[in-house]
Amino acid sequence: MKDETKEFIKMIGKKISQIRKKKGISQIEISRLTKISRSQISRIERGSIPSYSIIHLFKIAKVLDVEVSELVNPHRIFSKTIRFSPPEITINTESGEEEINIKIKLEK
């Protein structure tokens, strides 16, 4: 994984942690409400998990009562400008459940 991607994942986790603590919500409470294990919440916040579902971000954002863009907006996270390739969005409804996948590629 490229350094920029690692930094981006760590900054998202840091933002989640900051908002969670500011709102007085525990990792256990987020885990209970999102059905994401507490250990995985912890790894997301530390940036030690190489990738996770965008659905996880939607669930966490909902519990924190923020927009997902507040968690992933590079202008709120980085002091430098970061360029993105257009996002690749796929929606799969074949399984009977909606599954949304979003891939964002960072450019140099």
Segment 55-83, tens digit of pLDDT? 888 899 999 999 888 888 755 444 455 56
Tokens of 67: 């927009």
pLDDT at 47 over 90: no
Could you give the percent of the chain with pLDDT greater than 70? 68
In the prediction, which pLDDT does 79 show?
47
CA distance 52 to 57: 8
Is the separation of the CB atoms in 31 and 38 below 8 Å? yes
Could you give the percent of the chain with pLDDT greater than 90? 36
In the prediction, which pLDDT does 98 show?
67
- Residues of 83-98 as b/e, b for ≥16 C-beta within 10 angstroms? eeeeeeeeeeeeeeee
Q: Which amino acid is at 1?
A: M
Across 76-105, average pLDDT: 63
pTM: 0.66
